[in-house]
Amino acid sequence: MSIHLVAVQHQLHNCPSEQEPHPWSTTRTVVQTISGRPCLNPVTIRSGDVVAVVACGRHDPANRQCGNCRTIITHPFGGLT
């Protein structure tokens, strides 16, 4: 599993029509990346005479990826985003 730590920063704004502060810009910054381990379920792809073996994370949708290929994005203050 690859883990990406993302910091989210909101720029707040007050305007005459809406007195409560509200975000007008959101910035997301990748703070840290922890690489996963080798794929546990590689996929064989064939195209004519060419055969290639790739990690399931490059081929399959997220719900069918092995635990080593799955990507998790976390917020630095806890919780998943």
Overall pTM > 0.75 = no
Question: pLDDT tens digits, residue range 23-61?
Answer: 888 898 888 888 778 999 999 999 999 999 999 988 999
Q: Give the integer Cα–Cα distance in Å for 53 and 34.
A: 23
Give DSSP secondary structure letters for the chain. Answer: -EEEEEEEEEEEEEETTEEEEEEEEEEEEEEEEE-----SS-EEEEETTEEEEE-HHHHS-GGGS-TTT-EEEE-TTSSB-
Specify the higher pLDDT residue, 78 or 14.
14
